[in-house]
């Protein structure tokens, strides 16, 4: 494998080209790093070489480190994994530092060879850390290119010198959007922000000119020059002090300390800022090792990168079905969900027929797309031409005949099986025979809805989350009779709208709501027991959930919760387990405190709908316990009640693939992302501990914590989910 090649020309320029032959995007692994390092040695030692250009043979520079390598690093690093990981990272630091010092005399800083990085397109992760070690970065004028350090998004941080170099280049404050938020920029903006040096139509030519004329002084990085001071000051500088204190508070406010990589990153920045550059690199490597050794990083990389991508690329798509890409979609019901579905479909270039009972309602649904595009134009993210093109693709009407050449229908009318049945029949009278019909129902079993259809094999669930344009998960539900072509159609559609699909079998509440509802219910149970609402919500937020269960039920509305509870009770009869929850739910509903939309729920709201403190009336009805429970006890109740449902979904065959269970939970309802998802979390805990904890929770709080047979069996055998089920998921 040769990911790098080097050529030397008559002018004395050694050009190192990065081109991973078996991939469409360059990614770095240890072998590639070693090859690059050998070429650098060669070029530095060769007297005929005056300077070096590092570039790519592809349209982009590089996508980053091969995350599979990082995920496996600790298992492939021998008997002393932390030492092995640290040494591996330090070998990368040494190679990049060699580029930076470029053979110059350590004392006089003279005699080095200029190294330029030329980026034809996107340069992310180590694809930007490598250029950061060069002396000058040239990028092509390519508005589609992205330059940045996105590691934090998958539970890592830039560990190949990117953290140390960017902080020294831009200062802690300047570097924070790129390091802490993983923000990336197009080349022109990256230049204005000081991330790169030049942007032009012919960066290769400009780099050559620069290399041939560079002086000794041009090769000295600010942090290697005498008297270097960090922009904005270090932690003990008066203004630097403000930055560091504020950053720490802000980051902890946002993450609640639940993300190990963010904490490690802040530590690497803070500690690294107080020591010489080389020591800072060692500190960065130690913190990076710490993150890699934490099971959270492996779980996050696995779910948020490797498996998420595998699902997006069709890992679970029936392979025997030809391309089912959608050209014309019919959306029935132009309410909150229908309007969003119309928008994302039109954004993906499909023609959309948006139907409601009255023209006014259909128009209102289309106006949602208009308002959305207006907002984007205001923010400089869209143009009026784009808006006009998008709106021209949406036809708002009441006429079912407009569906005559549609190839996919998504129904999002009221959650009422009778209305849905009428709509299904009316639509099927108008659509072609091979058109797939999908329902966006959130609670009604697909196999029951399919009874209204004359072609149940073409009937499927495509369940979006609200708001459609922001939520990345789409849950696809197979009814009893749903055939492969319908599944393939749904998956191809989800791919077109660039969201992440999971495919599950039909059951009450499918997968996501099956887990979310117990989470919300456990929150309300805790309140009914006299646990402080603040403790309930904060316990969840400290686990990395975006909102606690009480805030979540306020957002989704308490009357909806009550409606679902009544319908569930009706369907389950004596098996219905949630009486204690209903006390709270129905009482809140009776008080008219139905959530944010009524500006009254578990929280108080002002007239503008801004949330204030918890409503005091709650503790009058449910007096607070004198002795509040331990934080971990509350957290375990909130976590276990969801993950046990995920295990049961797997046991029942609703979940067919553990990857979908984990990715779906993080994207669907923000399940503690640091854990990699519910099944990854059980693996982190270890199934024997988890099974034992179930018993304790069951004894203390009730049968909903009963340990599922599957989990008990795995605990007895000492198995993990990714160990036991990984053969089924190797396709990734």
Point out which residues bind ligand NAD (CB under 6 A).
Answer: 332-338, 355-357, 361, 412-415, 419, 423, 440-442, 463-464, 466
* Sequence-ordered list of residues with C-beta below 8 angstroms from that of 595, at least 6 positions apart, any chain: 553, 554, 555, 556, 557, 558, 559, 601
For 82, phi and psi rounded to 5 degrees? -60, -40
Q: Which is nearer to ligand NAD, 419 or 710 (CB)?
A: 419
CB of 509 to ligand NAD, least distance (A): 11
Nearest to 447 by CA among 505, 403, 489, 501: 505
Q: Which is nearer to ligand NAD, 469 or 633 (CB)?
A: 469
Three-state secondary structure call for residue 506: coil
Q: Which is nearer to ligand NAD, 263 or 463 (CB)?
A: 463
Nearest to 429 by CA among 403, 462, 398: 403
The Cα 670–Cα 677 span in angstroms is 9
Q: Cα 617 vs. chain centroid, distance in angstroms?
A: 38
CB of 211 to ligand NAD, least distance (A): 57
Three-state secondary structure call for residue 710: helix
Q: Which is nearer to ligand NAD, 173 or 361 (CB)?
A: 361
- Which uninterrupted H or E stretch holds 354? strand 351-355
Q: What torsion, rounded to 10 degrees, do the Cα atoms 351, 357, 358, 362 define?
A: -30
Q: Which is nearer to ligand NAD, 232 or 561 (CB)?
A: 561
Return the exposure string of 200-211: e unless at least 16 CB atoms fall within 10 Å of the residue's CB, then b: eeebbebbbebb
Q: Which is nearer to ligand NAD, 267 or 395 (CB)?
A: 395
Q: Which is nearer to ligand NAD, 294 or 397 (CB)?
A: 397
For 463, phi and psi rounded to 5 degrees? -100, 110
Helix spans in 123-237 (H) = 126-133, 162-180, 187-192, 203-213
The Cα 678–Cα 689 span in angstroms is 15
Q: Which is nearer to ligand NAD, 464 or 674 (CB)?
A: 464
CB of 663 to ligand NAD, least distance (A): 18
Q: Which is nearer to ligand NAD, 38 or 466 (CB)?
A: 466
The Cα 299–Cα 154 span in angstroms is 9
The Cα 73–Cα 81 span in angstroms is 8
Give the nearest residue (CB) to ligand NAD. 335
Q: Which is nearer to ligand NAD, 96 or 413 (CB)?
A: 413
Q: Which is nearer to ligand NAD, 419 or 528 (CB)?
A: 419
Extract the tokens encoding 281.
Answer: 């690199």
Q: Are 580 and 709 in contact, with CB atoms under 8 Å apart?
A: no
Q: Are 409 and 330 in contact, with CB atoms under 8 Å apart?
A: yes
CB of 5 to ligand NAD, least distance (A): 52
CB of 662 to ligand NAD, least distance (A): 21
Three-state secondary structure call for residue 595: strand
CB of 367 to ligand NAD, least distance (A): 12
Q: Which is nearer to ligand NAD, 413 or 550 (CB)?
A: 413
CB of 685 to ligand NAD, least distance (A): 31
Per DSSP, 708 falls in state: P
Burial tier of 271 (Cβ tally within 10 Å: 0-12, 13-18, 19+)? middle
Q: Are 62 and 97 in contact, with CB atoms under 8 Å apart?
A: no
CB of 669 to ligand NAD, least distance (A): 12
Return the exposure string of 635-667: e unless at least 16 CB atoms fall within 10 Å of the residue's CB, then b: bbbbbbbbbbbbbbbbeeebbbbbbbbbbbbbb
Q: Which is nearer to ligand NAD, 535 or 585 (CB)?
A: 585
The Cα 626–Cα 530 span in angstroms is 9
Sheet holding 184-185, edge to edge: 123-124, 147-148, 184-185
Q: Which is nearer to ligand NAD, 351 or 415 (CB)?
A: 415
Nearest to 550 by CA among 580, 579, 519: 519
Q: Which is nearer to ligand NAD, 160 or 332 (CB)?
A: 332
| Strand pairing class (603-605; 611-614) | antiparallel
Q: Which is nearer to ligand NAD, 65 or 332 (CB)?
A: 332
The Cα 280–Cα 176 span in angstroms is 17
Burial tier of 10 (Cβ tally within 10 Å: 0-12, 13-18, 19+)? exposed
CB of 558 to ligand NAD, least distance (A): 14
* Sequence-ordered list of residues with C-beta below 8 angstroms from that of 435, at least 6 positions apart, any chain: 403, 406, 407, 408, 409, 458
Q: Which is nearer to ligand NAD, 416 or 716 (CB)?
A: 416
Per DSSP, 154 falls in state: G
């Amino acid at each position: 494998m040769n990911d790098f090649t080097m050529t030397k020309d008559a002018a004395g320029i050694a050009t190192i080209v990065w081109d991973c032959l078996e991939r469409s995007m360059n990614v770095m692994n240890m072998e590639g790093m070693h090859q690059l390092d050998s070429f650098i040695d060669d070029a530095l030692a060769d007297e005929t070489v005056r300077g070096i250009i590092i570039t790519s043979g592809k349209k982009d520079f590089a996508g980053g480190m091969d995350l599979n390598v990082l995920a496996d690093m600790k298992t492939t690093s021998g008997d002393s994994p932390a030492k092995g990981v640290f040494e591996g990272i330090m070998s990368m630091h040494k190679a990049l530092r060699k580029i930076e010092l470029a053979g110059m005399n350590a004392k006089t800083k003279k005699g080095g060879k200029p190294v330029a990085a030329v980026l034809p397109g996107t340069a992310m992760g180590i694809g930007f850390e490598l250029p950061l070690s060069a002396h000058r970065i040239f990028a092509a004028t390519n508005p589609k290119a992205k330059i940045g350090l996105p590691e934090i998004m998958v539970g890592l941080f830039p560990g190949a010198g990117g953290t140390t170099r960017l902080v020294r280049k831009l200062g802690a404050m300047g570097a924070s959007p790129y390091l802490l938020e993983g923000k990336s920029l197009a080349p022109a903006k990256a230049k204005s922000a000081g991330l790169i040096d030049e942007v032009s139509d012919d960066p290769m030519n400009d780099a050559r000119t620069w290399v041939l004329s560079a002086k000794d002084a041009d090769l000295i990085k600010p942090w290697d020059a005498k008297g270097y001071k960090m922009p904005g000051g270090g932690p003990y500088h008066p203004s630097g002090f403000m930055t560091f204190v504020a950053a720490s508070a802000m980051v902890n406010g946002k993450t609640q300390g639940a993300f190990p990589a963010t904490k490690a990153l802040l530590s690497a920045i803070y500690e690294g800022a107080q020591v010489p550059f080389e020591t800072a690199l060692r500190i960065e490597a130690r913190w990076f090792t710490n993150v890699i050794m934490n099971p959270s990083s492996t779980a996050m990389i696995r779910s948020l990168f490797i498996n998420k991508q595998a699902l997006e690329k069709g890992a679970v798509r029936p392979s025997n079905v030809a391309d089912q890409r959608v050209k014309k979609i019919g959306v029935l019901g132009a309410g909150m969900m229908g309007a969003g579905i119309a928008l994302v479909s039109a954004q993906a270039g499909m023609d959309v027929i948006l139907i409601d009972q009255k023209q006014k309602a259909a128009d209102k649904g289309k106006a949602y797309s208009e308002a959305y595009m207006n907002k984007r134009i205001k923010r400089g993210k869209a143009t009026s031409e784009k808006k006009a093109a998008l709106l021209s693709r949406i036809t708002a009407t009441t006429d079912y005949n407009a569906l005559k050449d549609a190839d996919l229908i998504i129904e999002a009318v009221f959650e009422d099986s009778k209305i849905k049945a009428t709509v299904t029949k009316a639509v099927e009278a108008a659509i072609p025979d091979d058109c797939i019909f999908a329902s966006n129902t959130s609670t009604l079993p697909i196999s029951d809805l399919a009874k209204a259809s004359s072609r149940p094999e073409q009937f499927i669930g495509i369940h979006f989350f609200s708001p459609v344009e922001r939520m990345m998960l789409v849950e696809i539900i197979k009814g009893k009779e749903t055939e492969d072509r319908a599944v393939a159609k749904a998956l191809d559609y989800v791919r077109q709208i660039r969201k992440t699909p999971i495919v599950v079998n039909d059951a009450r509440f499918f997968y996501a709501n099956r887990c979310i509802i117990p989470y919300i219910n456990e929150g309300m149970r805790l309140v009914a027991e006299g646990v402080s609402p603040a403790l309930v919500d904060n316990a969840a937020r400290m686990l990395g959930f975006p909102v606690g269960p009480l805030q979540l039920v306020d957002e989704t509305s308490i009357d909806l919760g009550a409606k679902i509870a009544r319908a569930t009770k009706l369907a389950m009869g004596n098996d219905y387990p949630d009486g204690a929850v209903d006390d709270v739910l129905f009482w809140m509903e009776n008080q008219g405190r139905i959530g944010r939309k009524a500006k009254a729920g578990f929280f108080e709201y002002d007239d503008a709908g801004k949330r204030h403190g918890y409503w005091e009336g709650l503790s009058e009805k449910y007096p607070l316990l004198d002795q509040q429970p331990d934080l971990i006890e509350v957290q375990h109740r909130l976590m276990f009640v969801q993950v046990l449902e995920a295990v049961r979904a797997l046991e029942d065959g609703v979940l067919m693939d553990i990857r979908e269970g984990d990715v779906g939970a993080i994207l669907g309802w923000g399940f503690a992302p640091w854990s990699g998802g519910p099944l990854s979390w059980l693996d982190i805990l270890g199934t024997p501990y988890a099974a034992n904890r179930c018993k304790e929770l069951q004894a203390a709080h009730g049968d909903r914590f009963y340990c599922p047979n599957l989990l008990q069996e795995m605990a007895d055998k000492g198995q993990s989910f990714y160990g036991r089920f990984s053969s089924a998921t190797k396709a990734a």
